Amino acid sequence: MLIPLALVIIYRTKEPAMHPVILYIYIAFVLNAISTTLFVFHSKMPPLLQNNNLLYNLHSIARVFFFSWYISKITPRHFLFINKSIISGYIIFIVVNFLFFESLLFFSSRLFAAESIVLLFLCISFFLRSLQDESGTNWTKYPSFIVSTAVALYEATTFFIFLFILPMAVKDPGFGRLCLDIYKIIFVIFCILLACALFRSKKHEDVVVTT
């Protein structure tokens, strides 16, 4: 997360649509930093702080909240009803799942699978609207396209990793480590694409100002 965080600090973009992405970067950095610290110093931590699964679950929820917020900001009003319905269903799922079936203190494959389904649906909807746009706009140069690509690529890759990593890692630890290595690579790509979106957002601001 240091990659996009550096761009946030350097460029300080003021484009309103990017605020959810910027807030996500700050929160994700804090959650990752705490989670990594708990992992590295696991043996030296008191029992209460030896479990970082809560932070992974909170990160998943934060990712859905902030990127669905971002996509809603760039979505025309007449399409927002579907987006809001999907998010409402996700919130109901969280409440029911953690009240009756799982604990937030345990790594939830269901939560990550739900995250992927929600964000992939929102990103694909954005791509379809972009393809149907007849204005001649080159959407690939806009921050919204880069952010949606980053999220879609990340979710499409990690969906199966998080869905099957726990049972597969028990049967084959080597396969579990391979999945984690793939996850690390895709997360770095995700962060680089977010940084590219922030850079493109700043260039777009400069063009608007100068024109």
Check if the beta carbon of residue 147 is closer than 8 Å to that of residue 141: no
Domain boundaries, the chain: 2-205
Residue 209's pLDDT band (cuts 50, 70, 90): very low
Q: In this predicted model, what pLDDT tens digit does every residue of 16-56 receive, in sequence order? A: 888 999 999 999 999 999 988 887 776 676 666 667 888 99
Helix axes 173-210, 143-171, angle to 10 degrees: 170
Q: In this predicted model, what pLDDT tens digit does every residue of 143-201 receive, in sequence order? A: 889 999 999 999 999 988 887 777 776 777 777 788 888 889 999 999 999 999 998 88
pLDDT of residue 138: 61
Q: Which amino acid is at 8?
A: V
